[in-house]
Homo-oligomer: A and B are copies of this chain.
Amino acid sequence: MHDHAAEHSGSACGHADHESVLDRAERLCRERDLQFTRLRRDVLGAVAGQARPMGAYDIAERLSGSGKRVAAVSVYRALDFLTEHGLVHRIASRNAFVSCGHDHGERDGLLFLICRSCGGIDEMTSPAIESQLGRAVAEAGFTPTSRIIEVEGECGACRERGGPPGH
């Protein structure tokens, strides 16, 4: 472990539990005077219930069980709200979404590790990378407003297991 240690949430293997994510979201919305509606809660719940990123249509399908039908467009609107407030993150390389494992409600400075074997996502932050990135970008005369960093590979659990999971 180094002093500049990066922090990571380890959601790739045993995702952050459902309840705490919803509770945190509800609290955050109360604090900011936002409407945490039924649909938004359901969408967040669906995303939080999966360790791997979910597509908007996957979410719509999952919420559409038992007579009630949820259109993809509604899911998109809920996802817009949730991403805007940092409750879920969009994985650009997959066109999919994951629930945020942090308590911050921030939208930036994050880094995603995507496992090719199990499909899981690990979310982390690294101040060291942030500062290097900020410096390199500034040298190019560029003023950043947002950034994405997504790394694909194999997570520790899958490598130890020596291949794709039985799972």
Contact = CB atoms under 8 A, between A and B. Distances in A.
Interface of A: 1-2, 5-6, 8, 92-93, 111, 113, 115-116, 122, 124, 126, 128-129, 132-133, 135-137, 139-156, 159
The number of times this chain is found in the oligomer is 2
Contact of A140 (B93, B122, B132, B150): B122
Contacts of A128: 132, 135-136
A101 to B, nearest CB: 13
Nearest to A159: B143
Of A141, A148, A152, most B-chain CB atoms within 10 Å: A141
A109 to B, nearest CB: 12
Of A137, A148, A151, A154, most B-chain CB atoms within 10 Å: A151
B140 A145 contact: no
B142 A146 contact: no
